[in-house]
């Protein structure tokens, strides 16, 4: 039994800087707000009809622990009859929550369900409470650099000497510019769920926009930043995503159920794949995962009309583009900007990519297929191919 899976809707909280506007906010409260915001936008969905809830977090302790998939479901006010579970595939947590839920829908176990992710990197610094097995290094299972994401990005620069620091900085600047333009046009705000936040000095506020974007970024400013992962290196805070807090949530259903309930259909899932690479160059992961997803779908890279690539590091995106022969400034790539500007709260980011792609589908009925893809720590990549429900058959 196999059924078509559709993305009905997706939302996210504004993303904050670690230690910034959500310093006094719990991670589970961010997730609860995203779930409630998603359901408020879809009143035709009876809460009791939701078959499952999968929520990702890369650090599953404290306010991101206690099976956040189940606890956030209860805290969001869903009936006790709605189950929930937690997912961990590091940066691709929400992406994996979506594909896992999609598998259950395709198989027929679920009709309609929620997938999402949360990361409060202020409350849970990257690597918190991790205890890597000594065998990793002693038996050379991985190199030392594999355990530091910035160091893996420097290694990717080594592997692709044509990807210079200047080229990475130029890509990063373009991400900031595209994000600023998208904000000016009101394209990002429409899918942000306002979130209450408390500052010790200023008291309560309502977060309505992302905290991280730097619209005044310049090439000169980027050129002067330190390279913390290697002396005279190429990876800086300016051409990398930041440390961020935020949550995302997506509503998925079988196409038949969505039509039965009169729900919107923002994208149809075509195929998905995960792949592994050397942990020391984890940023290359989206290349083999995309090759696998394309093969499963019977498509080629030329069939993809829109791309949402998570900008963990500029070099990672550029390595993907270089492999597939796509220009750095191709208009199909991250038209609303990306994580270098808005931030990358680890396990939540996969749904942000899908949300952006769905919005771009609305603006581009001439595009039939789009791709969401991201690199994953310890040497992996994840890719999902989607079909545009607004496709008019008039391919450019």
Under the banding of pLDDT at 50, 70 and 90, the label for residue 261 is very high
Please report the pLDDT score of residue 396 as a whole number: 52
Mean pLDDT, residues 293-315: 98
Q: CB-side exposure of 202: number of CA atoms within 13 Å?
A: 12
User: Which one, of 259, 275, 300, lies nearest residue 379 by Cα?
Assistant: 275
Task: Look up 364 and say whether it is catalytic.
Answer: no
Angle (deg, nearest 10), helices 314-323 and 286-297: 40
DSSP labels, 156-176: HHHH-TTS-HHHHHHHHHHHH
For 5-124+242-387, CATH number? Answer: 3.40.47.10
* Non-local CB neighbours of 327 within 8 Å, separated by 6+ positions: 321
Task: Look up 91 and say whether it is catalytic.
Answer: yes
The neighbour count for residue 366, using CB atoms within 10 Å, is 14
Assess whether pLDDT exceeds 80 at residue 395.
Answer: no
Residues 58 and 119: their CA atoms lie apart, in Å, by 7
Catalytic residue, from 120, 124, 157, 375: name it: 375
DSSP-derived pairing of the beta strands 112-120 and 53-56: parallel
First and final C-alpha spacing in the chain? 35
Task: Look up 375 and say whether it is catalytic.
Answer: yes
Catalytic residue, from 47, 91, 124, 364: name it: 91
What are the pLDDT digits (tens) for 148-202? Answer: 999 999 999 999 999 999 999 999 999 999 999 999 999 999 999 999 998 777 7
SS3 category, 155? helix
Cross-strand bridge partners of residue 119: 246
Cα 253 vs. chain centroid, distance in angstroms? 20
Q: Determine contact, residues 38/284, Cβ cutoff 8 Å.
A: no
Please report the pLDDT score of residue 2 as a whole number: 87
Assess whether pLDDT exceeds 90 at residue 258.
Answer: yes
The two structure tokens encoding residue 165: 């620091």
Residues 240 and 205: their CA atoms lie apart, in Å, by 28
Assess whether pLDDT exceeds 80 at residue 112.
Answer: yes
What are the pLDDT digits (tens) for 11-65? Answer: 999 999 999 999 999 999 999 999 999 999 999 999 999 999 999 999 999 999 9
Under the banding of pLDDT at 50, 70 and 90, the label for residue 210 is very high
* Non-local CB neighbours of 160 within 8 Å, separated by 6+ positions: 315, 318, 319, 322
Q: H/E/C letters for each residue in 96-108?
A: HHHHHHHHHHHHC
Catalytic residue, from 157, 344, 364, 390: name it: 344
The two structure tokens encoding residue 246: 């935020």
Is 74 exposed, middle or buried, given 0-12, 13-18 or 19+ CB atoms closer than 10 A? middle
Helix residue spans in the chain (DSSP H): 27-40, 68-75, 93-107, 135-138, 149-159, 165-184, 219-223, 255-261, 286-297, 314-323, 339-342, 349-363
Assess whether pLDDT exceeds 70 at residue 1.
Answer: no
User: Which one, of 1, 5, 81, 55, lies nearest residue 271 by Cα?
Assistant: 5
What are the pLDDT digits (tens) for 55-93? Answer: 999 999 999 999 999 999 999 999 999 999 999 999 999
Q: CB-side exposure of 188: number of CA atoms within 13 Å?
A: 25
Cross-strand bridge partners of residue 10: 250
Please report the pLDDT score of residue 202 as a whole number: 74
Percent of the chain with pLDDT over 90: 94
Under the banding of pLDDT at 50, 70 and 90, the label for residue 127 is confident
Residues 258 and 44: their CA atoms lie apart, in Å, by 10
Range of lowest pLDDT (113-127, 197-211, 297-311): 197-211
Assess whether pLDDT exceeds 70 at residue 274.
Answer: yes
Cross-strand bridge partners of residue 267: 7
Please report the pLDDT score of residue 285 as a whole number: 98
Mean pLDDT, residues 373-396: 93
Residues 6 and 126: their CA atoms lie apart, in Å, by 33
Assess whether pLDDT exceeds 70 at residue 203.
Answer: yes
SS3 category, 226? coil
Please report the pLDDT score of residue 341 as a whole number: 98
């Amino acid at each position: 039994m196999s059924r078509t899976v559709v993305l009905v809707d997706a939302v996210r909280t504004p993303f904050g800087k670690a230690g910034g506007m959500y310093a006094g906010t719990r991670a589970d409260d961010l997730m609860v707000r995203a779930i409630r915001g998603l359901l408020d936008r879809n009143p035709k969905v009876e809460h009791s009809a939701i078959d499952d809830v999968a929520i990702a977090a890369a650090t599953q302790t404290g306010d991101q622990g206690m099976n956040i998939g189940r606890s956030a479901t209860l805290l969001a006010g869903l009936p006790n009859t709605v189950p929930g579970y937690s997912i961990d595939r590091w940066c691709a947590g929400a992406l994996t929550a979506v594909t896992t839920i999609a598998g259950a829908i395709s198989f027929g176990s679920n009709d309609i369900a929620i997938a999402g992710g949360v990361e409060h990197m202020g409350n849970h610094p990257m690597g918190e409470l991790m205890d890597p097995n000594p065998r990793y290094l002693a038996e050379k299972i991985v190199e030392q650099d594999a355990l530091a994401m910035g160091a893996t990005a420097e290694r990717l620069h080594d592997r692709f000497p044509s990807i210079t620091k200047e080229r990475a900085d130029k890509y990063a600047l373009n991400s900031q510019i595209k994000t600023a333009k998208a904000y000016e046009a009101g394209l990002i705000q429409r899918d942000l769920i306002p979130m209450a936040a408390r500052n010790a000095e200023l008291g309560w506020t309502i977060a309505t926009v992302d905290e991280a974007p730097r619209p005044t970024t310049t090439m000169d400013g980027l050129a002067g930043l330190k390279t913390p992962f290697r002396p005279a290196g190429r990876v800086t805070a300016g051409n990398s995503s930041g440390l961020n807090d935020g949550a995302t949530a997506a509503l998925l259903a079988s196409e038949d159920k969505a039509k039965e309930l009169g729900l919107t259909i923002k994208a149809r899932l075509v195929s998905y794949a995960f792949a592994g690479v050397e942990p020391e160059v984890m940023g290359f992961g989206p290349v083999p995962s995309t090759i696998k997803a394309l093969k499963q779908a019977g498509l080629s890279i030329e069939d993809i009309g829109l791309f949402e690539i998570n900008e963990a590091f500029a070099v990672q995106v550029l390595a993907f583009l270089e492999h597939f022969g796509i220009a750095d400034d191709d208009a199909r790539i991250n038209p609303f900007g990306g994580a270098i500007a808005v931030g990358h709260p680890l396990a939540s980011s996969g749904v942000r990519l899908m949300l952006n792609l769905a919005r771009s589908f609305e603006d581009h009925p001439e595009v039939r297929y789009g791709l969401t893809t991201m690199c994953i720590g310890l040497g992996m990549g994840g890719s999902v191919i989607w079909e545009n429900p607004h496709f008019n058959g008039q391919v450019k």
